Amino acid sequence: MAPPTRYFDRHDASHGLYFDAVDLLAHVESAYQDIKIIDTECHGRVMLIDDVTMLTQSTHHVYHEHMVHIPMACHPAPRRALVIGGGDGGTVTELVKYPCLEQIALCELDEAVIQVSREWLPDVSAGLSDARVAIHIGDGAAFLNDAPDPFDVIIIDSTDICADDAGSDTGPASPLATDAFYDRLQAGLGPGGVAMQMLGSTIFYRPAMAELFNRLSNRWASFRPVLMPCPFYISGDWTAGLLSMAASLAPDTDHRLNGHLTYFNRDIAHGALALPNDVKRLLPGG
């Protein structure tokens, strides 16, 4: 038997992780990025984009369940949902569990991510085949600008928007963290609408995250950081942002939370909004 091939996901000069793959199932160089699906002995299939871990079959549900079920629990009657990014389909697969949703739009820039996921991650991408799902290939901000009707819930399932600015004091430069994007995001939400955005690591990206927390607090009537354990992401945990122009954000878990999940439950929903002291200090006035 041939020895496993080692794939590295290096985070900085002194830290990273690796996977020993028993097989390289897919390798696609799209117009935007390098996409690999590898098969591992202990953690199932793993998606790497530009050699950065996107998901593992063994743990992706932790991230996807947080990203969907918290914002869904914050809206009293969601009917229309939008996912920006998330071409692997994991976020959509969680959304289709809600009978109340009448329309689910997915806007993914790179069609190759969808194609690779459908072929090699069928369990993750299963929700893409739901009749309520409409897939749009293109820029998420432009899609928001042209959408004829507002959405109740918008989930930005992107790569970490602070990664390019790790250790800097200039703040995130991602196009999904600009004032223009947040203007479009606010305009794309209906009354009481809720957004959830992937942010990054408060441990590795502390200066950029502090700047981003300050910007989001000033631009949104309600902003709450959400913490989640992500074993194969940088630092082992991750942060998202819960955003709304409504006066307050509190998940009504008795009303909305789906009870048939792998990881997430009512206690986790409330615990994810509890912040350790060092994260509180990143908030304005913290």
Helix (H, G, I), strand (E, B) or coil at 45: strand
Residue 234 has pLDDT above 90, yes or no: no
Give the pLDDT confidence score for residue 38 in this predicted structure.
98
Q: How confident is residue 170, by pLDDT bands cut at 50, 70 and 90?
A: very low
Looking at residues 67-76, what average pLDDT do you find?
94
Give the pLDDT confidence score for residue 1 in this predicted structure.
58
Q: Strand pairing of 237-244 and 222-229?
A: antiparallel
Give the pLDDT confidence score for residue 163 in this predicted structure.
64
For residues 30 and 38, is the Cβ–Cβ distance under 8 A?
A: no
* Cα(55)–Cα(94) distance, integer angstroms: 15
Q: In Å, how far from its chain's centre is CA 281?
A: 23
Helix (H, G, I), strand (E, B) or coil at 29: strand
Beta-carbon contacts of 78 under 8 Å, excluding residues fewer than 6 positions away, are: 72, 98, 100, 101, 152, 153
Tokens, residue 152: 């109740």
Looking at residues 171-181, what average pLDDT do you find?
76
Mean pLDDT score of the chain = 90
Looking at residues 127-136, what average pLDDT do you find?
98
208 conformational bin, left if phi > 0, alpha if psi -120 to 50, beta if neither: alpha
Residue 50 has pLDDT above 90, yes or no: yes
Looking at residues 264-274, what average pLDDT do you find?
91
Looking at residues 132-154, what average pLDDT do you find?
94
Q: Which long-range contacts (CB under 8 A, 24 or more apart) does 20-25 make?
A: 21/46, 25/120
Give the pLDDT confidence score for residue 81 in this predicted structure.
98
Looking at residues 44-65, what average pLDDT do you find?
95
Residue 157's identity, in one-letter code, is: D
The residue written with tokens 């969680």 in the block is 94
157 is catalytic: yes
Give the pLDDT confidence score for residue 169 in this predicted structure.
43
Give the dihedral of Cα atoms 68, 69, 70, 76; nearest 10 deg: 110
| pLDDT tens column, 182-194 | 999 999 999 999 9
Give the pLDDT confidence score for residue 164 in this predicted structure.
54
Residue 159 has pLDDT above 80, yes or no: no
Residue 236 has pLDDT above 90, yes or no: no
For residues 247 and 222, is the Cβ–Cβ distance under 8 A?
A: yes
* Cα(148)–Cα(159) distance, integer angstroms: 27
* Cα(175)–Cα(85) distance, integer angstroms: 13
Q: In what order do the strands lie in the sheet with 189-200?
A: 133-137, 103-108, 80-85, 151-157, 189-200, 237-244, 222-229
Q: Work out the angle at residue 225's Cα, subtended by the Cα atoms of residues 221 and 226, and round it to the nearest 5 degrees.
A: 130
* Cα(57)–Cα(39) distance, integer angstroms: 10
Catalytic residue among 157, 169, 252, 278: 157
To the nearest whole percent, how much of the chain has pLDDT over 70? 94
For residues 4 and 21, is the Cβ–Cβ distance under 8 A?
A: yes
Residue 18 has pLDDT above 60, yes or no: yes
Give the pLDDT confidence score for residue 255 in this predicted structure.
66
Give the pLDDT confidence score for residue 191 in this predicted structure.
93
* Cα(179)–Cα(214) distance, integer angstroms: 13
